[in-house]
Amino acid sequence: MAVRYAVRRHRNTTATVLALVATAIGLGWLVLILGSLLWHGFSGLSLSVFTQMTPAPDSAGGLLNPIVGSLIITALAVAIGTPIGMLAGTYMAEYGRYDRASSVIRFVNDILLSAPSIVVGLFIYQVVVAPMGHFSALAGGVALAVLVIPVVVRTTEDMLRLVPNSLREAASSIGLPRYLTITNICYRAARAGMVTGVLLAVARISGETAPLLFTSLNNQFWNVNLNAPTASLPVVIFLFALSPYKEWQALAWTGALIITLAVLALSIIARTLAASKGQS
């Protein structure tokens, strides 16, 4: 009997140790990645990174055009994706809450949420780039918008569902039509959550590379024309990191650091917003 107890206790200890080790591995990896990113990224971080264009091989330069390009493409994606996502989420939470269609759309949306982004790139290449005949920032923006939509749909719907029905009933009882109830009451009540959703979507797309490879392509020079190929930070990192030039590789690390800091800042802001909302 005592032996069996010992065996069981032993097993429990082993499992506990394994769980600790697993957690240490997970956390250790985060530290390792962030650590090496800071180490390699910071050494290249200087003002010229933000003021100069991407250099030719074997010369110094900065990341100004890809940074601006990324901002343009991200802004486009948010401008296209957010309204569609919010309206779709509104339909699913408000008008079509008990529709069969809504549950189908929710299912499809959840699949789109984790669909491979490279396939989205192929899709946009087929429907935007090929008919237009050239790569462009616009195509990149549309490709990223396809990734924004599911995130925004999901959070909008979830947040609107959290709005108590008594608010809607109160609005209806003073004669407010449905659409004003939604825009003036529900949106206002769910605002923090919906903003969180948009922030999360931006965080998600700002590091996306695969859909941009053959939509916005790359551009070595300054460009703000939406109809021309445009550099973006992730694509430049990809090209520079795989190049044999030391300067390019250093810039790739710095770019990687910038993206990661931006993404982490966005998710922390989103988290705080969501948390403060949850308390009130």
Partner 1 sequence: MVDVALQSDALGSAEAATRAAVLDRLRLGDAVFRSLTRAAAFAVLLLLSGVIVSLFIGALPAIRQFGLGFLISQQWNPVSDTFGGLAPIYGTIITSFIAMLIAVPVGLMIAFFLTELCPQWLRRPIGIAIELLAGIPSIIYGIWGLFIFAPFLQQTLQPFLIDTLGNVPLIAPLFAGPPFGIGMLTAGLILAIMVLPFITSISRDVFEAVPPVLKEAAYGVGCTTWEVVRHVVLPYARVGVIGGVMLALGRALGETMAVTFVIGNAHRISASLLAPGTTISAVIANEFTEAVSTLYTSSLIELGLILFVITFVVLAIARYLLLRIERRIG
Considering only residues 149-178, where is the footprint of partner 1 by CB under 8 A? 149-150, 153, 177-178
The sign of the CA dihedral 180, 181, 182, 185 is positive
Tell me the site size for partner 1, rule CB under 8 A: 92
Whose Cβ is closer to partner 1: residue 56's or residue 127's?
127
Let me know: does 225 contact 72? Beta carbons within 8 Å: no
- Can you tell me which of 237, 251, 273, 274 binds partner 1, judged by CB under 8 A? 237
Whose Cβ is closer to partner 1: residue 138's or residue 182's?
182
Q: Which of residues 63-92 bind partner 1 (CB under 8 A)?
A: 83-88, 90-92
Binding mask 17-46 for partner 1 (x = CB under 8 A): -xxxxxx-xxx-xx-xx--xx--x------
End-to-end CA distance of the chain: 55
Nearest to 61 by CA among 229, 243, 211, 252: 252
Q: Own/partner pairs for 224-227, CB < 8 Å, 24+ apart?
A: 224/68, 224/72, 225/137, 226/72, 226/76, 226/136, 226/137, 226/138, 226/141, 227/134, 227/136, 227/137, 227/138
Binding flag, residue 248, partner 1 (CB under 8 A): no
Binding piece for partner 1, criterion CB under 8 A, among 12-20, 44-52, 53-61, 166-174: 12-20
- Can you tell me which of 203, 231, 251, 273 binds partner 1, judged by CB under 8 A? 203
